[in-house]
Structures are given as structure tokens and as C-alpha cells.
Amino acid sequence: MKKLAWILIVAVVAPSLILGALAIRSLRDQRFVLERQQSAVYQGVADSFAKRINSKLEEKQLEFGEKVQALLARTDETQLATTFDEALCADWPLAEVGFVISPGGQVLSPSLFSRPEARQFRLDNDRFFCCDSVEVYWTPVLTAASTNSSPPTKTEQRSVAPTCVIGPNIGTNQAVSKVASAPAEFVQLMGSAKEGVVARFLRDQLKLMLWYKPTPSKMDSVYGVQLNLPKFIGEFRALAKVEPAFAQDIVVAFLDDAARPIALSDTNYAAPNWKRPFVASEVGEALPHWEVGVYLKNPAKMGHSAKLATIALASLISGLFVVIAIGCWFVIRCLRKELDLAQQKTDFVSNVSHELKTPLTSIRMFSELLANGHVDDAEKRRSYSNIITAETARLSRLINNVLDFARISHGEKKYNFQQCDAADVVRSTVESYRPNLESKGFTVKVQLPQQPLMVNADRDALAQVLVNLISNAEKYSNGTKEIEIDGARSNGTVRIEVLDRGTGIPVGSEEKIFEQFYRAHESLSSGIQGSGLGLTLARQIARAHGGDVVFHRRETGGSCFVIELKSNN
Ligand code: ADP
């Protein structure tokens, strides 16, 4: 038992406790895990919106190149170099100022004397186009030659990929911008590329320029456009959409560099603080410090979901603990039962050995006395013969019980059911027993009705049940040698009662006495021989007949065992 307890502790209880502790630890991180999962999903939404904006920009760049090529096809290149601003603005609503730069960095268009926007443009950019380095946001175009040969310049080393730090501070939007400006000349920006984008902040306002080098070109000029930003941004509004699956939970917003919402997936939504999105993704250096933010419509919902997940997990863990505890309890109970049974079997073997030995000793002793011819007294000889007969009967009863028990346990016991008179079985069984009982000083009283008590039964099996009960009444008589056997029929049941005035059954053992090998009066302490099988067999046989054997405590002391059988009268 002790060994088993250790096995249980090492193999079941300890691993369960460790698993439980790990599970409880993971419970605490539920909210964090949930936020992490959601932020990963929503980051994807923000990134895809940012990607769409960049695609739109690439689209506009292509469109601009086509416009330039179309204008060059219509107009002579020398003439277009001076009239490009007017021609482009007339043709393309997104153009704010069109410009042409000669290979030497001279601005050919617009004229310094044209409209105010063009003049301002010249003032802002002339020096940048010809020779000055200014702060710009740009992506160096790496040609095959440049990637293979020279190491990237200082400005080329800038990381421009937008990143969003997701960690324990999720929800507090700790986005870190990696889009940075660097001083560069226009010629340096162009490198050997054919087209590009330049973003500059002038007087706190973003200026976005596209440039394009047409091929073939006589003058080798660069054509460019400063975009009309409000109009350009207007085109993004249609892009701000969220998949229906997320529409209930989030709003996607396109924010300018001052965190003002430009486009919203849900126009009715107003964030408490636009600067604190749940997750964000920067558009890139074409629109520096502009970003796509994802806002939770109901931030409390996540806490609620985390709480629900925690409760569900906690209940599951507790449930598992309860199941493990119940399982352990069952295992211990079953093992205890098995141990008890093993003990009872051991007792049974020693009890049966005793029971076999006692009658055998008597039989041997008295038969030897008779055989030697030393007993002259006829009365004594008769008495010795009676003892031998009684002991032989006891021996065969015990052997029958053991054999029948084995047969019943293996389901091999066969009954010969037939209509018989239970009163007749009682009479003949008692009469065959009476001499033995009376010789020991017992009074045996039998009360049976005149009419037969018809039952469908195996006569021998029924007699065996009765013999077991009478034998017990004799064994546990405790000096009060009164046995009574009554038979009667009531409510369609034949009841045969075996009553004694003996020791009675200890309280709490009323049902246990019918269990195999169970003995209420320990053989050693009581000195009464027994195998613990008599009542087990009696009940099993009675039940095979559709009846039962039950115990009743007698008010005035002693026991009453009743054989109940279905009446066939
Ligand atoms: P056993 O061979 O020990 O008599 P049984 O199955 O016949 O086995 O009886 C089981 C136990 O029930 C006995 O050990 C005894 O303690 C108790 N018992 C049975 N019959 C009587 C009785 N008539 N009076 C008191 N105790 C009884």
C-alpha cells in the first residue's frame, strides 16, 4: 500500500501538480497573449493598407511618365522645356507645378515670372536642383552596378522600412519611425535611375515631387511635377476599407504627419486620441511620417475576452484537477478492496484447511476406536457412528460449498428446475439433520402449513441453502440451543425462515455477511470454524431461482435468515 502511494505520488500527483502550476502561470499571461495575437492580425491589416497607398503612388508615377511621353510626342522638346508647367497643369489635375531641369541643373520651366505657385516653387527648389544639399526623404535606386561595386553611402544606409514595436506596451502605440531625412543634392538623388520620388518638408508642409527622364531625349532634361497634395490624398479615401470580418472591431485610418485622419474606414468613428492607435504602419518615405493606424472600436472588449479565456482555462484546469483527484481516490479504493479480498482469500485457505482437518481427525479417531474392537458398549458404538456420520456430512457440505462456489464463479453451475414442494424439502432436510442437532442438545422446531408450498426449484440446491442456514444457526448458537424453521406463503412468495437465539450479526455487517469470504465472527477469536462462503452461496443459489436470502435481526436476540422464492401454487 505504501509502495502504491509512492507510485501514485510520483506518477500522477506530482506531474499533475507541475502541469497545474504551469497552466496557472500561463493563465496570468492570457491578456498579453490575446493582445499579441490580435496585434499580429491587425498589423497585417495596417500593412496591407500602407502597401495599397504605395501602389497608388507607383501608379501615379507611371501615369506621370506617360503624360511626359505624350507631351513630348505632341510638342517639340525645346519648346516643351519652357512651356512644360502650363502644358502639364492643363492636362493633369494632380499637377501643382510642372518642372524641367537641364543636365546642368538649370530650371527651364516654370518661368520665374509665371504664376505665384510656380515662382514659390522656383524660390524653394532652384538651389536644390543645381547644386545645394537639402534635407530630403528618398530611396536610393540601387542599380546592378552599384550593388556589386561600391559600398552604400552614408545616406544609403538609412533604414526606411516602417516598423512597429509590439511588446508588453501593446495598445499604447509605441511605434518607432525609422523614416528619416538626410541632406542630398538632386543629382545625387537621381543617380542612374529613370524616375523617382522626392519628399521635402517646407514651412512645415510636405511637398511631394515626381521626376522622370524620358528616353530617347535630345536635351537629356529631367521632367518633374510637384503634386497637388490635397487632390492626391483625396484618391486614398476609397482605399480605406476593412474586411467585413474586422469591421465590427476595428477602424483603419490614414494619418498625415500631424496625426490628423485623412481617410477612415468608418467615417462615424472619432478616436479619443489619434496619436495612440492599437497598431500602426508607416507608409514610407514617399509620405514621410504619414502612417496607417488601426484603432479598436471597443478596447474593453479585449479585456473581456481575455477574462473569459482565463475563466474558461481556469475552469478546465480545476475540472482536470477534480477528475485526477477522483481518479486517484477510485484507484486507492479499488486497490484497498483488492487487498482486502487477497487477505480474505488467505484467511479462506487457512479456514478451509482447519475445517477439513477437524472432521477428518474425528472421523479417523472414532473409526479407529470402532475398528480396534475396544468399544464393547453398544450405546457408545452407536454414538461414535453417529459422530462419524455427522462429521462426514459436515465434510461433504464444506467440499460441496467450495466446489459450488467455484462452479458459480465460472458460470458453470447447472440447476435442475422442477415443480417441487418447498415444505417437503424443509421437512426431509431438517429430519436428516435433527439427530445430529438433538444429540448436541438443540431443540429443533418446525412449523409448516398443511398445504404444499409449490415452487419451481432444484431440490438439491434448495436443500443446500437450507443446510447452510441451519448449520450457521448451530455454529453461532452461542449456547442458546434453539432453532426454529418456519415455512409459509404470503403475497405470492414462499418464505422459509431459519431462526436462532445465537450471537446475532454485528451492526454494520448485515449485508457484508453475504460477500464472499467475509466472516463477521473471526474464526481465531471466536473459535468457530468457517469458510465465509455459506451465505454467499445461499444467496447466489436463491437468486438463480429468482428469489433471495435476506437477514433480519430478531428483536428478542438472535438471527433470522429468510429464503424467499416465487410461489407456484
Ligand atoms: P462461515 O463459513 O464463516 O459461517 P457464512 O458465509 O456462512 O460463512 O457466514 C458468514 C458470516 O456470517 C459468518 O462468519 C458469521 O460471522 C455470520 N453468520 C452467519 N450466520 C449466522 C448466524 N446464524 N448467527 C450469527 N452470525 C452468523
Query: For the residues of 167-197, what is the DSSP string, one character each?
Result: STTTTS--EE-----EEE-HHHHHTT-SEEE
pLDDT band at 138 (very low <50, low <70, confident <90, very high): low
For the cut 60, the answer to whether the pLDDT of residue 154 exceeds it is no
Whether 111 is covered by a domain: the verdict is yes
Give the chain's domain count.
3
293 & 421 share domain: no
- Pocket test residue of 355, 519, 536, 551 for ligand 1, highest count of atoms within 8 A of CB: 519
pLDDT digits (tens, 9 = 90+) for 450-472: 999 999 999 999 999 999 999 99
Q: Are residues 171 and 247 in the same domain?
A: no
Asked if residue 367 is part of any domain, the answer here is: no
Nearest CA to ligand 1 atom 4: 530
221 and 295, same domain (yes or no): no
Q: Whose CA is nearest to atom 21 of ligand 1?
A: 472
Q: Give me ligand 1 centre to Cα 505, in Å.
A: 8
End residue of a domain, out of 234, 258, 282: 234
Do the Cβ atoms of 33 and 300 come closer than 8 Å? no
Residues 152 and 61 occupy one common structural domain: yes
Q: Given pLDDT bands bounded at 50, 70 and 90, which one contains residue 321?
A: confident
DSSP state of 388: H
- Grouping H, G, I as helix, E, B as strand and the rest as coil, residue 386 is helix
Distance (Å, rounded) from C-alpha 134 to C-alpha 184?
Answer: 6
Task: Give a yes or no: residue 325 inside a domain.
Answer: no
- DSSP for 1-51? -HHHHHHHIIIIIHHHHHHHHHHHHHHHTHHHHHHHHHHHHHHHHHHHHHH
Q: What is the mean pLDDT of the chain?
A: 85
Q: Are residues 167 and 270 in the same domain?
A: no
Atom of ligand 1 nearest to the CA of 536: 6
Residues 530 and 495 in one domain: yes
Instruction: Report the nearest atom of ligand 1 relative to the CA of 532.
Output: 8
In which domain, by residue range, is 285 found? 240-299
Q: In this structure, which residue's CA is closest to atom 20 in ligand 1?
A: 472
Asked if 61 and 162 sit in the same domain, the reply is yes
In angstroms, the Cα distances linking 101 to 109, 113, 134 are: 7, 17, 17
Using pLDDT thresholds of 50, 70 and 90, give the confidence band for residue 157. Answer: very low
306 inside domain: no
63 falls within a domain = yes
Q: For residues 180 and 164, what is the distance between their CA atoms, to the nearest angstrom? A: 15
User: What lines the ligand 1 site, CB under 6 Å?
Assistant: 468, 472-473, 475-476, 500, 502-505, 513, 519-521, 530-536, 559
Q: Are 456 and 419 in contact (CB under 8 A)?
A: yes
Place of cell 406463503: 489
Q: Is the pLDDT of residue 196 over 70?
A: yes
Whether residue 418 is contained in a domain is answered as: yes
Does 180 have pLDDT greater than 90? no
The pLDDT tens digits of the residues spanning 339-352 come to: 888 887 887 787 78
Which residue's CA is minimally distant from atom 12 of ligand 1? 513
Grid cell locating 510:
448485515
Position of cell 500522477? 12
Domain match, 20 and 76 both: yes
Cα-Cα end-to-end distance for the chain: 55
Of the chain, the percentage scoring pLDDT greater than 90 comes to 41
Do the domain assignments include residue 379?
A: no
CA atoms within 13 A on the CB side of 171: 17
Q: Which of 209, 234, 259 is the last residue of a domain?
A: 234
Q: Pocket of ligand 1, candidates 478, 529, 535, 559: which has the most ligand atoms within 8 Å of its Cβ, to mutate?
A: 535
- Residue pLDDT, tens place only, 504-561: 999 999 999 999 888 887 644 567 878 888 999 999 999 999 999 999 999 999 999 9
Residues 21 and 155 in one domain: yes
Q: What percent of the chain has pLDDT over 70?
A: 91
Residues whose CB falls within 8 Å of the CB of residue 229, separated by 6 or more in sequence, listed in order: 96, 206, 207, 208
Domain with residue 416: its CATH number is: 3.30.565.10
Are residue 244 and residue 230 in the same domain, yes or no?
no
On whether residue 280 sits in a domain, the answer given is yes
Q: Which of 282, 299, 316 is the last residue of a domain?
A: 299
Average pLDDT over residues 430-451: 92
Which residue has 447447472 as its cell numbers? 414
Check whether residue 208 and residue 256 sit in a common domain.
no
Q: 181 versus 342: which is more confidently predicted?
A: 342
Residue 104 is placed in which grid cell? 546642368
Q: How confident is the model at residue 34 (pLDDT cuts 50, 70, 90)?
A: confident
* Per-residue pLDDT, 171: 41
Q: Are 36 and 79 contained in the same domain?
A: yes
Q: Judge whether residue 174 has pLDDT over 50.
A: no
